Amino acid sequence: MKLKKGIPVIDQGDKLGFWGGKFGGNFVPETLKKPIEDLEILFNKLKKDKNFINERDKYFKNWVGSPTRFIKLENLTKYVGGAQIWSKVVSDANGGAHKIYNATVHCLLAKRSGKKVICGDTGAGYAGKMLSMAAKKFGLKCKIFMGAKDIQRQQPNVRAIKKNGAEVIPVYSGSQTLVDAVSECMRYWVANCDKVAMCVGSTVGPAVFVRICGWSTSQISRELKTQLVDEFGSVPKKLKLYNCVGGGSSSFGFWNEFMDYDKKQCEFIGVEAGGPAKSKKHAAPLTYGSKIGILHGAAQYVNQNTDGQIEETESISAGLDYPGISPLHCFLKDTKRARYTAASDEEALNAYKLVTKFEKLRPSLEPSHAFSIAITESKKFSKDTIVVVNSCGDAYKDRGIIEKKLGRKYV
Amino acid sequence: MSNPISHAFKKAKKENRPALLTYTVAGDNSKKQSLEILKSISKKVDIIEIGVPHNTPVADGSQIQTSSYRAIKNGIKVNDIFKIVKNFKKFDRNKPVILMGYYNMIFRYGENEFLKNCKISGVNGLIVVDLPWPENKKFASKCKKRSIFFIQLLSPTTTQKRLKKIIKDSHEMIYFISMLSTTGGKLKVSSKEILSNYYKIKKINSKKNVVIGFGITEKTIKSLKKADGLVVGSAICKEITNSIKKRQNPVTNVYNVVNRLRNKIK
């Protein structure tokens, strides 16, 4: 299995949509074959269309607000006493997280295809919130599928979704989290694909959704590359990019522009959700060696039992609480371009405490996982090593959990 | 060697009626009870479809989801399903059995190993909901080698060009999904429209036995009786759920539903 240079990773899949010959694909009911093919044709055409790209960039700049900040975490760097720790504050983006890029592009595609309704899944509520914002902006009706457990633990985002005029459909099946929300959203699409567009909230799902999402979030690394050159004169000789990985949309977007650099110069570190320290359950299929399976239309490493039933996950962060992982990350793992590890719930909370103590930055529980590993590893790095952590979400949505776990003063 | 599925269609045709296919989930509501249900309905049914329960069933509506979760909770494993088929075949040797499920269960088990056990236990056909054409080409030919029918699915969204290609690669039986829906949806299109799509398929190759499924209940079955075969699934799963709620015997209740279905297409 080999990663090619000079070709975007999203376009390195084969005819059937498999990366490295075995990750991804289109394991979907026959009914979805046609709408998926239609979307593929549209996307392949538009991503080469200058007008469309200009339109995307216009909305990214004026509405999403690009570029998001790239800042040095001076105090944290001093405290850790190793590498320089920087952050790409993607939570600056309109709505407070990277999910806005994918949502915007899906709404633009839906408009072009003449669809008037868009449906989407959400875990932490960010994908749902952003889709509801974009849908409102572009005049589309919007339905958001969300696990009942997530609705309870991510109330601020649920309120935002409703305020944007979207309908929140609670999902009571299975573990009542993201995995069930994605399933239910796909079911809704199966039954309504003639009139409704679907947005998959991460770089997961049938191949075209993986590609659209990766193409959209790559805005993050395009900005970062420019910012690095502005700051250091060129891309630093020792650059390490830390990002949390649930489905994998923000990390893929954070790394994409640096793909062709040697990994000795630009190393990618993906941090999965290890779950509570004392629990056997986790949401870290790459770290803990889960086997390949099929989930939501794509072959990927996925938590499952020997019989092929998808296993329940556990994580304090709803956004990472997913048993599978993007085929793109499976591909980056097996080609050894990226390295993956996990942080536990407790480690993420500690990192949150540290970051908020030293900096004017409030990463949500998802990027707190990435901060945890970045802080630990930075201690060992030389002072000319540039560590960048993608702070891809804001902690406002987590205030309930943080208050419960850490006390009022941390909210 | 001829497949008993072909024989079942021939027999139904001779009697001038569509073949009746029933779908129940293996292990619903227990391993033993699901076998009892199959035995009790066998005489009234032409082809038995057995669902391999999966806990992330993206094409199933709430009825089959409920049955699947119940069966998994009660501990059903793939090997138990082969045992159920084997025991059922001891009871009714010639009744064709089709397993229907999601690809991950087969993938995890290993395609060859899965097919080997299908053969040993007496499975005659397979429907894999999320392994569409052309992704299923290799697996379908493996099935053919073992004289197990791989049953291709067609949907109202399947284009004419694609219809032709899939039908060309199909074995003797084809499953037509009546409408845009998950299983158990209310029939939202007219039977006339469904049959017109059905005849489009028959026109491409009249020799294939085409069954219609999704949305078929006691209320709707009669209007589609011109088809080669009709599949009822969710309506039966619902009956099991209701029986449990009312603390009644699901075996008798399911038999009664199947009996009524059969009488409507006599």
Domain that holds residue A124: 19-59+98-214
Q: Is A222 found in the same domain as A79?
A: yes
pLDDT per residue as tens digits for the range A119-130: 999 998 999 999
C-alpha A225/C-alpha A241 separation (Å) is 12
pLDDT at A175: 84
Instruction: State mean pLDDT over A245-249.
Output: 97
Q: Is A117 found in the same domain as A35?
A: yes
Yes or no: say if A176 and A210 are a contact pair by the CB < 8 Å rule: no
Q: Is A171 found in the same domain as A301?
A: no
The domain limits of chain B are: 4-264
With a CB cutoff of 8 Å and minimum separation 6, the contacts of B165 are B133, B134
CATH at residue A175:
3.40.50.1100
Per-residue pLDDT for A219 more than 80? yes
Q: Is A286 found in the same domain as A248?
A: yes
> Given A214, A239, A258, which residue is the final one in a domain?
A214
Residue type, A56: R
- Tell me if B134 and A16 make a contact (CB, 8 A cut-off): yes
> Given A179, A214, A249, which residue is the final one in a domain?
A214
Residues 82-111 of B with CB under 8 A from A: 102-109
pLDDT at A345: 98
- The DSSP code for A291 is P
pLDDT at B1: 54
Q: Is A236 found in the same domain as A193?
A: no
Q: Is A76 found in the same domain as A51?
A: no
Which residues are paired to A117 by β-bridges?
A: A141, A196
Give domain status of residue A1, yes or no.
no
Q: Is A167 found in the same domain as A113?
A: yes
pLDDT per residue as tens digits for the range A311-368: 999 999 989 999 999 999 999 999 999 999 999 999 999 999 999 999 999 999 999 9
- The DSSP code for A257 is G
- Edge-to-edge strands of the sheet including A386-390? A69-72, A84-89, A386-390, A239-244, A266-273, A338-343
Give domain status of residue A78, yes or no.
yes
- Tell me if B102 and A294 make a contact (CB, 8 A cut-off): yes
User: Which chain A residues have any C-beta within 8 angstroms of a chain B C-beta?
Assistant: 16, 25-35, 173-174, 179, 183, 186-187, 190-194, 291-297, 304, 306-310
**Helices marked H in A126-206:** 126-137, 148-153, 155-163, 178-192
Per-residue pLDDT for A300 more than 60? yes
> Given A170, A193, A214, which residue is the final one in a domain?
A214
Q: Is A251 found in the same domain as A186?
A: no
pLDDT at A384: 97
> Low-confidence residues of chain B, pLDDT below 70?
1
- Tell me if A27 and B103 make a contact (CB, 8 A cut-off): yes
pLDDT per residue as tens digits for the range B74-112: 999 999 999 999 999 999 999 999 999 999 999 999 999
C-alpha A200/C-alpha A295 separation (Å) is 13
Give domain status of residue A13, yes or no.
no
Give the distance from residue A92's alpha carbon to the nearest chain B alpha carbon, in angstroms. Answer: 35
Q: Is the dihedral of CA A400, A402, A406, A411 positive or negative?
A: negative
Give the count of domains, chain A: 2
- Tell me if B107 and A308 make a contact (CB, 8 A cut-off): yes
- Tell me if B56 and A29 make a contact (CB, 8 A cut-off): no
pLDDT at A411: 83
pLDDT at A216: 98
- Tell me if A173 and B65 make a contact (CB, 8 A cut-off): yes
Q: Is A185 found in the same domain as A146?
A: yes
Q: Is A231 found in the same domain as A319?
A: yes
- Edge-to-edge strands of the sheet including B125-128? B149-150, B125-128, B97-101, B47-51, B19-25, B229-232, B209-213, B173-177, B152-154
Give domain status of residue A281, yes or no.
yes
Residues of B serving a catalytic function are 49, 60
Instruction: State mean pLDDT over A245-265.
Output: 97
Q: Is A282 found in the same domain as A153?
A: no
C-alpha B38/C-alpha B251 separation (Å) is 9
Residues 63-82 of B with CB under 8 A from A: 65, 69, 72, 77-78
Residue in chain A closest to B63 (alpha carbons) equals: A173
B4-264 CATH, one of 3.40.50.720, 3.90.1170.30, 3.50.50.60, 3.20.20.70 = 3.20.20.70
Q: Is A178 found in the same domain as A120?
A: yes
Residue in chain B closest to A175 (alpha carbons) equals: B55
Give domain status of residue A9, yes or no.
no
B92, HSE (Cβ side, Cα atoms, 13 Å): 22
Give the count of Cβ contacts less than 8 A between chain A and B.
Answer: 115
Instruction: State mean pLDDT over A259-276.
Output: 98
